[in-house]
Structure 1
């Protein structure tokens, strides 16, 4: 006689249970180590770029730098449109399904954008005859980054950014060697693109090989459309923000020519070095923390204040240093042929000072479910920048584009009126007061030093010491957090 058997779970349920068990065993790292690794990756990247730009600025003409800069802007636009904030969507989702679907979603958008770029190549020659070739070579970097974008985001979500350090170091070495050997020999814009391709390919190959067992890499194209629909709020944010974050250099080239674009892009690159060094690694690590504390208003406010002020102490001092020492810095780094870029250094150094809470504030809102507010802000930014930048740029040149960017940045600062709904007015007002005091403390001693009859080198050295002291003083509140993180008690 047959005995009744217990009902077995379906294969699908068993598979899901196994997948969940595997995901639970997927390794996670330490916050302090992840933050340190993020900064080390940025230090390697920025030091590499600085070394090569300083070496090649005296060899390659500003016009060629302008063409290369325009190509970088175009590929940056394509990269933003194919990424569409999908990595932030996966981070905010906080479930495994998002990470499984991410590679397929990015692969599908990459295919579409590459086809669109090929179709747009004839239009690029109107800006510069060398631009299509330079852009086509640089577009090759999009292929390996199709996989590294998701891998980097997932490693960051698991606080395992130390996996990026060795690949970044190897890629930096490849970039320096290829840039000096190839670019210095040919002295053309496309040769700079070749060096970038060598760097990205080397970095991507090493990173993907090291992390192949820790992250999801297989594209699941059948779920791509579902992922894009699920991420529609993040997609709209990317579409609205692409104009503001990418096209200022391209707009300068269209209204003033490749040479002026070269001077502007080099100046903008110089003023953005520390923001890139500070904001990108810190925010990359903090995004999942913002998402994890979305329900705790008091805790989220404390994390926001700590993050915003750590960024401001470093960025503000860097911007004021350039504002008062632009001539000396440009002359020492790039040589006399780049003297026309000095006014642009001063103009672009003001950008981060106009919206000290903008970047961190909007990221907090994005990670706490207020993406529609961020979307409308980006739409307003983009409209203001395009209308004012083009309108004034065609009449008064580069300064008109800069004014458009100023207005857009001021609109971005309106985040201070929205943040209180998430973290409360007391925290926002306290941060605003601290930022105002910081700006005054930075500016006053530099004005006094500037009035003294000192050589430029001595003035720069004194300013550097004064601002360095301000940074050390401002970072004191972060020391308990660092000690707790190192002890394994981080947020």
Structure 2
């Protein structure tokens, strides 16, 4: 397989790649939903608890899985077979080391929890780390060649294989081992599918990777580490100082809001990083593609988040029932925080695709520091305080600094970043005022009706404002025309 394919028609590829990836993500979400239902009926809560106890440790070590070298292969304009071979062997070595570290920690983990069953679970959970590292180069090549359809297909069959394996094992009475077997089978299928498609084979071991590639990967790994720390410390602090009940409320609110958002932005990242990387030297095209994509991303996500935030009490009552009313204020504050996160989360494309991972790491360190500080300040008021402090600090301390940083990196400007989000924040405020003006007999008739009304107001006003201003109007009409053309 040629490591440096020709440049494609980016607009068409981006749209088709986005549609294919979104479709595959939909299938994966269905599989995940089925997995929750099926395994919950076959296993005990204790089984889930045992495996979940190991999860954070495996996830943390997994951040070192390939030292960011997979993204380095996607980002570089040209890559040689020698460099591919070097990255493969380094990734495999790091994956092996990660698996050994996790396995070596097994006795300590079992001792910490006072349960010898954790010993086998931890050792077995290390296997996917090694398999994932071996799959890093073929997956990077598929992404580099913009094979989004094949990547999407592989994702779906991998998720399905993991579910089938776990369900069969659970039905056979294997208990918690079924939750370990599922990810292992999924990792084997992912590895096999990737290698079958790419048909690339490494040569003799060579561990001399160029310093530029290592620097790129090291800074990206550093960003992932500090980001992981800040993203998980809130749970630790709330659990320690506010108790399991408060943490349960916070966890439900966090996952209810951010899980759908992540399922939109993460697949989009797979499409956009290789595309933007290929044109990063053409600053005009880079900026245009990034801005157009994020206008549409903001149009899809921000009004929905605003509507759900506005009707947080009704949303929680509908989905969780009356026992979970304490989730509503936490959900509302996290919703306010998330309004700008759909676009803010894509700024990583700007850093990665232009090889500016050092600046990305610096931003990650600052963001993590201010995030952790907000958790500590808000902890005095429990889970609601943590969510509120996180939201307020985001607008005051992080968004302005991020705008300045991406402006310095370029070619996307601070104005590009702030204006597209400002329009939808304005539409959200107008929708909020309009909702408050509705008669209580209408909004109080049913929780579902209240949510539907809020969604209609938010999306309606958002698209009205997009139609008023020239840039978003042009982007909206062009995108709709391209979608219609590709669906014909």
TM-score of the superposed pair, with normalisation by structure 1 = 0.77
**Counterparts of 2:328 and 2:43 in 1: how far apart (Å)?**
18
> Do 1:179 and 1:192's aligned partners in 2 also have CA atoms closer than 8 Å?
yes
1:419 aligned onto 2:410: no
Q: Which one of the candidate residues 137, 148, 159 is aligned to 1:172?
A: 159
1:75 aligned onto 2:58: yes
> Do 2:370 and 2:393's aligned partners in 1 also have CA atoms closer than 8 Å?
yes
> Do 2:162 and 2:185's aligned partners in 1 also have CA atoms closer than 8 Å?
yes
Q: Which one of the candidate residues 428, 436, 446 is aligned to 2:425?
A: 436
**How far apart are 1:254 and its partner, in Å?**
4.9
Cα-Cα RMSD: 4.2
Equivalence map 1:76-225=2 (5 Å):
76-97=59-80, 98-121=83-106, 122-123=108-109, 126=112, 129=115, 135-180=122-167, 182=169, 191-209=178-196, 211-213=197-199, 215=200, 220-223=205-208
1:45 aligned onto 2:28: yes
> Do 1:70 and 1:253's aligned partners in 2 also have CA atoms closer than 8 Å?
no
**How far apart are 1:78 and its partner, in Å?**
1.9
Structure 1: which 5+ residue stretches go unaligned? 1-18
1:459 aligned onto 2:450: yes
Quote the residue 2:220 is aligned against.
Answer: 234
Instruction: Name the SS for the 1:309 alignment partner.
Output: helix
1:186-227, Cα deviation, whole Å (9 max, x unpaired)? 797664444333334334433432x132x5667845235855
Instruction: Name the SS for the 1:42 alignment partner.
Output: helix
**Counterparts of 1:219 and 1:255 in 2: how far apart (Å)?**
53
Instruction: Name the SS for the 1:294 alignment partner.
Output: coil
Task: Indicate the structure whose relative CO is greater, using CA pairs within 8 Å and at least 6 residues apart.
Answer: 1
1:324-358, Cα deviation, whole Å (9 max, x unpaired)? 45565556656777676555544443442254542
Instruction: Name the SS for the 1:83 alignment partner.
Output: coil
1:135-163, Cα deviation, whole Å (9 max, x unpaired)? 54443332322233333332122111211
Instruction: Name the SS for the 2:207 alignment partner.
Output: helix
Of residues 222-231 and 35-44 in structure 1, the stretch that sits farther from structure 2 once superposed is: 222-231
Of residues 76-85 and 46-55 in structure 1, the stretch that sits farther from structure 2 once superposed is: 46-55
Structure 1 residues 261, 325: CA separation in 2 closer, same or farther (over 3 Å shift)? same
Equivalence map 1:243-258=2 (5 Å):
243-249=229-235, 252-255=238-241
**Counterparts of 1:267 and 1:448 in 2: how far apart (Å)?**
27
> Do 2:86 and 2:209's aligned partners in 1 also have CA atoms closer than 8 Å?
yes
Quote the residue 1:373 is aligned against.
Answer: 359
**Counterparts of 1:140 and 1:94 in 2: how far apart (Å)?**
32
**Counterparts of 2:4 and 2:363 in 1: how far apart (Å)?**
38
**Counterparts of 1:471 and 1:219 in 2: how far apart (Å)?**
57
Of residues 178-187 and 287-296 in structure 1, the stretch that sits farther from structure 2 once superposed is: 178-187
1:294-317, Cα deviation, whole Å (9 max, x unpaired)? 344433332222222222222223
**Counterparts of 2:326 and 2:122 in 1: how far apart (Å)?**
26
1:34-60, Cα deviation, whole Å (9 max, x unpaired)? 333322232222222233335666887
**Counterparts of 2:41 and 2:324 in 1: how far apart (Å)?**
9
1:265-294, Cα deviation, whole Å (9 max, x unpaired)? 444332223222221122222123333343
**Counterparts of 2:302 and 2:41 in 1: how far apart (Å)?**
29
TM-score of the superposed pair, with normalisation by structure 2 = 0.77
Instruction: Name the SS for the 2:198 alignment partner.
Output: coil
Instruction: Name the SS for the 2:208 alignment partner.
Output: helix
**Counterparts of 1:365 and 1:110 in 2: how far apart (Å)?**
25
